[in-house]
Each structure stands twice: as C-alpha cells, then as structure tokens.
Amino acid sequence: MNRNTTTRRHFLKLLSMSPLAVSLPFSFGCSTEQPQTPATVSLVKNSDDATAIARAIDLCGGLDFISPGDSVLLKIALNSPNPFPATTSPSLVTTLVALLKEQGAGTVYIGDKSPTWQDTMSCFEQTGLYQAAREAGAEVVLFEDQDMVAVQPAGALCWPGGFSVPHLFEEVDHIIALPTLRTHALADFTMGMKIFVGAIPQNERYAMHRSVWFHQAIAELILCSDKIRLSLLDGREGFNREGPDTGNLIQPGIIIAGHNIVAVDAVGLAVLKTTDTTTQLKQTDIWNHPAIKRGIEINSPGLCYESLTLVSEGVDDIEDIREKLS
C-alpha cells in the first residue's frame, strides 16, 4: 500500500470527527428578478504557450487593475508533489510573473498550503514551482508559516463560525488564482473556487468535506477576500476523470481566463463536458451544479449563459463548448 492511499484513508476517517456535519437551518435560492451579471471569459489555443497566456489575459480585459508597485499573490494549486496538470504549471508562473512585472507590479508572492499528509515546501520543489518562482523574481510563501486571521463573511452561510485565511490575504493588493482543469473524486471538479481550500487550516478542511453543504461551502471560500481579480485556468492539459492528484489525462490545449472566477469555472466545466468525462458531470447542467449555483448567488447574481461573453482564439471546438453552456 502506498503512502498516498494510507493518508487519504486516514483523511476520510478523520472527516467523521468534523463539527460541520449536520444540515444547516436555511435553504439556498436567488431571485429571478435580479439583473444579469455580465462576464467575459477568454479561451485561447496557441502552439506557443507564452503567447496563449498573454492573449487570454488581454482578451478577457487585461491586467489594468495593477498600478505601479502593487503587490500580487498568485494562489497556486499545490495539493501534491505531482507535476502539472495535478498542480499549477511552472511555465505558467514564469510567464505570468513576467507579465505582472511588465505591468509595473511590485512584490509578487506565490503561495499555498498542501494537505497535512504532504510537505508544502517539498511539493514546491518537486513540481519545479519553487525554482520557477525564484527565477522569476517572486517570493514563495508557505501558508502554514503565515499568521492566520479569522474571517466571517456575511454570505458564508455554510460557515456559521467563519473560517481562517493567511494574513497575507489582507496585506496584498491583488490575488490571482491559478487553477488547472481537473475533475475531483469528491467535489466533481476542482478549479478556481476550490483552489482556495488551500488557504484554510486542515481542521477547517475536514469540516468542509464532512458538511452536507460540501459543494456550497467550497464556493463560499471565494468570499475570503474582495481582492480576487483574475482566474487563469490552465487547460492545456487536465484530468477528465478521477482526480485531483492523478486522473485520465486530456490535452485540450486551452488557456481560459476571466475576472469573474465563477464564470471561468463554468467555462472550464463546459470544456470538460466536451470530453469523455465523468457520468456525474455529463448529466449535470453547468448552471445548476451546486458549487456554480452558490458561487453565482454570492458573487455574481444573475450570471448565466445570456450574460456570458466568450472570446475565443484558435479554439476549434468553441461551438461545442458554447452548446454545453447554453
């Protein structure tokens, strides 16, 4: 039996100790009278990866939110020491840091906390992310070494006691999410919203996984900060079954970007649905997936297919992706 199998079984056993294991006394819903929230998501496929990344950012609205000297936190996906697409790609980090510096950004931080059964620094090093960050001139941050602050966002109804995030979230000017395109054995998928699980302490992760509102609790983590400016979803490769650390490898070759993190996740799901993905995702309407639906309620009331603008470049199956969203 390998170490990952052992620790994951231990993890599932610990979930039974979670305090967030009962139904909460409310129901979710949104008003049909709410105005639609517009969002633009770009999809770019190019044989040159750096060009694809830069074009995707430009087409969704660019980096104009950055003023000279602003600090930026890149929230990476670092759940294991496994290489991309299980974790954020070092080449994406290298390209993005250079673009941020060109825009005038000051300090760029790259951070995450791997699960307790992994060593975060070891994951950084084994994936090549540590070397990429340092060579790009960014600062590596291990969230377990950070001071944590308690937050209790008004809309986080699945977190009646609130949750905790690194104090760095309050200190930086901007946060950018760098998820990859993956299915998830428990959560159905893991992209921009779920990437913020890596910001909370392990005991709170246990509570979230045990909650009957598991998917909605994931979505509510994006309320951790009002500084989340961009989600850059790396769909050059991905997993369309199993996940998050290993899975069936696919190669869509697409970079997906947008300033609305929920909209980017919805488009990522559409890309997965164009592949031979899980039966669960095939049968799920994107806008009614509990995580997407809750993300819309708390972050983008009225977001829907009609209010979503897709801008594509070099993506041959864009009409199939649109169809999955409609």
Residues 6+ apart with CB under 8 A from 209: 15, 18, 186
Residues 6+ apart with CB under 8 A from 80: 4, 86, 87, 114, 118, 123, 244, 245
What per-residue confidence (pLDDT) applies to 36? Answer: 84
| SS3 state of residue 272 | helix
CATH code: domain 34-325 is 3.40.50.11440
Compute CA 95 distance to the chain's CA centroid, rounded to the nearest angstrom: 18
What per-residue confidence (pLDDT) applies to 34? Answer: 65
Q: Are 200 and 163 in contact (CB under 8 A)?
A: yes
Token readout for 107 is 């300090």
**Distance between CA atoms of residues 80 and 250, nearest Å:** 19
Query: Does residue 179 have a cis peptide bond before it, meaning omega lies within 30 degrees of 0?
Result: no
Helices (H) and strands (E) in the chain, counts: 12, 13
What per-residue confidence (pLDDT) applies to 33? Answer: 58
If 0-12 CB within 10 Å is exposed, 13-18 middle and 19+ buried, where does residue 1 land? exposed
Q: What's the pTM value of the predicted model, to 2 decimals?
A: 0.91
pLDDT tens for the chain, 326 residues long, are 344 443 544 444 444 334 443 444 444 444 445 678 899 999 999 999 999 999 999 999 999 999 999 999 999 999 999 999 999 999 999 999 999 999 999 999 999 999 999 999 999 999 999 999 999 999 999 999 999 999 999 999 999 999 999 999 999 999 999 999 999 999 999 999 999 999 999 999 999 999 999 999 999 999 999 999 999 999 999 999 999 999 999 999 999 999 999 999 999 999 999 999 999 999 999 999 999 999 999 999 999 999 999 999 999 999 999 999 99
Sign of the alpha-carbon dihedral angle for 325, 178, 75, 190:
positive
What per-residue confidence (pLDDT) applies to 35? Answer: 79
